[in-house]
Amino acid sequence: MTAPDVRGGQDAGDFDVEEVLALVKDSRASAGRRTPGDPGPAPAPAHPGTGHAGSGHSHERHRATPWPEARAVAARAGRQRAAHRAPVAVPLDAALGLTLAGPLAALTDLPSFDTSAMDGWAVAGPGPWTVRDAGVLAGHAAPEPLADGEAVRIATGARIPPDTTSVLRSEHGRTDDAGRLHATRDVGHGQDIRPRGQECRSGEHLLPAGTLVTPAVLGLAAAAGYDTLTAVPRPRVDVLVLGDELLTEGLPHDGLIRDALGPLLPPWLRALGAEVTAVRRIGDDADALHQAVTGSTADLVVTTGGTAAGPVDHVHPILGRIGAELLVDGVKVRPGHPMLLARIDDDRHLVGLPGNPLAAVSGLLTLAEPLLRALAARPAAEPYALPLKEAVHGHPYDTRLIPVVLRGGRAAPLHYNGPAMLRGIAAADALAVVPPGGARPGQEVELLDLPWASAGPGARFT
Ligand SMILES: Nc1nc2c(c(=O)[nH]1)N[C@H]1C(S)=C(S)[C@@H](COP(=O)(O)OP(=O)(O)OC[C@H]3O[C@@H](n4cnc5c(N)ncnc54)[C@H](O)[C@@H]3O)O[C@H]1N2
Ligand code: MOO
């Protein structure tokens, strides 16, 4: 194993020659104003973009979409499509993680009858009381009315007999030798009775449209009488893993490597609210890719690899061949800048993730996450920011996404954050959004939540 380089495991390939020169020029122009770790604000791009697919790296940068705009484009594409998707009725046990398509209105009063809040006696009028032989248990039919001066044993959740004035808790009552019940505490009128409709009346709106279905929502819906929920359908995603060099088991050998994205993407996509309908490994075969894309009925096709302009990078040519509209073609973000978003037709989109694994994660969070969130009508995550524990070296033009751990209210950057590396992200709680030019220690940076972290708001594995 070779020792990590001085940039803490960052791939040298993260910067090209032109960018390094730009960094040098930029720091010369501002000599004396900055520390080496603080390259300062990004210089404006020198010339407007005219590049087309495969025209070379420097052109691509100028055609590329700024990172915040790329996310907005993806969200807008999702919203436009979401407006035409019909809601579906989903059984409660399949609805976790979906979004309510309409308000949840109670189908019953809650509670639906006057209910005892405690185990004890239902009593009528002031004590002492004569106690009836038969008690009242939860789940039983309507009990007989009580006469004044009468009491009956009652269980928590049981129906209150008509003319009951209060419930006396078992620990607050005592029976004398003659079998009469006495209160050992004052009992207020109506005490420990949950009146019908205390929580809601039938027809009352309990939750608005757009609410995320959590376990608590499932419980409330069941209590309020629902067997199914009317929800926004889960976006369906097909994953196409490209690359002849990929192995699905065993150790890397003879230039072949393990497919890291086949195992990584499906659960992550599910955490983003998607149903993964297929994961297909189709090698570097243009026709197979063409067939897989045109034959897919999923709302979103996610491809991995093949986004650049190499000899077997088939994603751009296939998109051209099927007349797809490129909404985002490259993003000013590191890693992951060759990522793309295309509209295949009225119903379907494609997100092209770069093959380098951390670059693919960057594409997932930059393009697939906002698109899927909007398609699933999930509420937007509250943006949040924390101060950085240490400086992060910036890219001169592009946003950087850096794996961080969140400790003591600060975001500590992790090493091994190069585009081909998963070691940093596997230990991370979030991705820090480092603006062009870098960030100083203590500078607040936006954080993108990871589905397994508990530190911030946002999606979780469901
Ligand atoms: N001339 C240029 N070459 C490259 C550029 C560029 O701008 N100009 N960008 C580089 C960057 S940055 C990235 S990222 C990659 C993106 O390339 P592709 O999306 O075409 O990906 P591939 O070439 O297929 O693969 C790149 C790399 O990742 C490995 N890989 C692919 N799939 C997987 C997988 N499922 N699991 C693990 N590893 C995977 C693959 O073997 C390659 O090593 O392009 C650069 N080149
Ligand atoms: O560095 Mo590339 O940007 O790995 O995606």
Ligand 2 pocket test: which of 67, 328, 356 has the largest number of ligand atoms within 8 Å of its C-beta?
Answer: 356
Distance 39 CA to ligand 2 centre (A): 21
Give, in order, the Cα–Cα distances in Å from 351 to each of 60, 100, 262, 311, 424. Answer: 18, 26, 15, 20, 24
> What is the tens place of the pLDDT at every residue in 136-172?
887 777 889 999 999 999 999 999 999 999 999 999 9
For the chain, residues classed under CATH 2.170.190.11 are 115-194
Give the distance (Å) from ligand 1 centre to CA of residue 338. 9
The pLDDT of residue 452:
85
Whole-angstrom Cα distance, residue 97 to residue 235? 12
Q: From ligand 2's centre to the CA of 293, what distance in Å?
A: 24
In which residue ranges of the chain is CATH 3.90.105.10 found? 88-108+199-232
Q: What's the CATH code, domain 115-194? A: 2.170.190.11
- In whole angstroms, give the CA distance from residue 443 to residue 447: 12
Q: Could you tell me the distance, in angstroms and rounded to a whole number, from the CA of residue 431 to the centre of ligand 2?
A: 15
Q: Where in the chain is the domain with CATH 2.40.340.10?
A: 1-54+381-462
Confidence of residue 54 (pLDDT cuts 50, 70, 90): very low
What is the CA(354)–ligand 1 centre distance, in A?
6
Q: Which CATH class is domain 64-82+234-375?
A: alpha beta
Closest ligand 2 atom to residue 362 Cα is 5
For atom 30 of ligand 1, which residue has the closest CA? 355
Q: Atom of ligand 1 at shortest distance to CA of 260?
A: 36
Predicted local confidence at residue 311, as pLDDT: 87
Identify which ligand lies nearest to the alpha carbon of 359: 2
Q: How far is the CA of 424 from the centre of ligand 2 (A)?
A: 15
Instruction: Tell which atom from ligand 1 comes closest to the C-alpha of 242.
Output: 32
The residues lining ligand 2, judged by C-beta closer than 6 Å to any ligand atom, are 14, 334-338, 354, 356, 359, 419
Distance 215 CA to ligand 1 centre (A): 40
Q: Which ligand is nearest to the CA of 309?
A: 1
Predicted-assembly ipTM surpassing the 0.90 threshold: yes
pLDDT higher than 70, residue 32: no
Per-residue pLDDT at 62: 53
Q: Where in the chain is the domain with CATH 3.40.980.10?
A: 64-82+234-375
Give mean pLDDT, residues 252-261: 97
CATH class of 88-108+199-232: alpha beta
93 pLDDT more than 80:
yes
**Protein residue with least CA distance to atom 24, ligand 1:** 305
Residue of 19, 239, 356 to mutate, ligand 1, most atoms within 8 A of C-beta: 356
Fold of 1-54+381-462: Beta-clip (2.40.340)
- pLDDT tens-digit map of 384-440: 999 999 999 999 999 999 999 999 999 999 999 999 999 999 999 999 999 999 999
